[in-house]
Amino acid sequence: MLDLNDIALFVQVVRSGSFAEAARRLGMPPNTVSRRVQQLETQLDTRLLQRSTRKLTLTYAGQAFHERCVGAVDGLIEAGHELMTGSQEPSGLVRVAATADFFDFFPMEWVADFLAAYPRVRLDFVLSDARADLIAERIDVAFRGGPLQDSGYVGRQLFGAGSEGLVASPAYIAARGMPGTLQDLVNHDCVSFGHPSGLTTWRLGRPDGVEEEVQIASRFNGNTAQALRKATVAGLGIALLPPTIARLDLLAGRLVRVLPQYQRAGFGLHVLYPSRQHLPLAVSAFIELVMEKLRAEAFPAQGDIRQV
């Protein structure tokens, strides 16, 4: 019979990233932790971890075993904490992976309100445009745009794919004029994600379902949507932005729509977490906060949006 304590040790080693760190957190000698994980591997007749002098890496079998076990182990630990504290209050550390510009559209005041509501919770943000490895980096929650590709993770859609539209600042339109057709963009400055050639092809759909292409030259390139938004507001050119990024600037008149009959299908936003069961209360509470806030931003009450 498998020793549940050894399984819990294995989960802690994966979460900690090393035997030494797991031993430190558990108050045990590192060689004891290593020996007990080896015993677990012997019982399973399967190698769970590849060991090197620099790091530990989960084998395929180890990752599958971890995904099956981590929720149950966390659930048992959480149940024990609830019995000891006599409450259902969220507590503990929540590690969050998000894009580098996450706090450009997720106000820090929302984080402050969350921490005030749950004083026993701590948040650790890992901000990068690279896709985080939830298991290797010990991430509890990750936010990603576009289609889900990680079949081993659990995903919940915050909001679906909207339609990206062309926008520009009123100052730019006053100086350069409003394009009358999609091909007129060839003679305009554009703001886009970078390409080594300096040229980018935009493929947009008309109301009748027909798609057209135009090759634009961008004088300003960026690698985040927020960088493109700020450049467009500053009058550097015409950009193709998702509605969640451009909405507030359109409402405030800092941006206006360009050729609104043309749209491009965008990507939705998902929240990911490693385990299907027994989410810690702190993780569940944070996910619900983000879903509530971002959905309210994505689908607000209708207001007037300027169009030229």
Quote the pLDDT of residue 255: 96
Residues of the chain with confidence (pLDDT) below 50: 86, 299-308
Would you say 294 and 106 are in contact if contact means Cβ atoms under 8 Å apart?
A: yes
Quote the pLDDT of residue 167: 96
Two structure tokens written together for 210? 């027909």
Would you say 157 and 269 are in contact if contact means Cβ atoms under 8 Å apart?
A: yes
Quote the pLDDT of residue 76: 72
Two structure tokens written together for 256? 């206006």
Quote the pLDDT of residue 172: 96
Would you say 225 and 156 are in contact if contact means Cβ atoms under 8 Å apart?
A: no
Quote the pLDDT of residue 82: 59
Up-side HSE of residue 224: CA atoms within 13 Å toward CB?
Answer: 15
Q: Dihedral through CA 128, CA 133, CA 139, CA 142, nearest 10?
A: 60
Quote the pLDDT of residue 186: 92
In sequence order, which residues have a C-beta less than 8 Å from that of residue 112 and are 6 or more positions away? none
Quote the pLDDT of residue 307: 36
Distance CA 274, CA 279 (A): 9
Question: Which residue in 277, 278, 283, 288 sits closest to 90, CA to CA?
Answer: 283
Would you say 97 and 134 are in contact if contact means Cβ atoms under 8 Å apart?
A: yes
At residue 63's C-alpha, the angle toward residues 59 and 69, to 5°, is 140
Would you say 220 and 237 are in contact if contact means Cβ atoms under 8 Å apart?
A: yes
Domains present along the chain, CATH in parentheses: 4-85 (1.10.10.10), 92-161+268-298 (3.40.190.10), 163-264 (3.40.190.290)
pTM of the complete model: 0.53
Quote the pLDDT of residue 21: 85
Quote the pLDDT of residue 115: 93
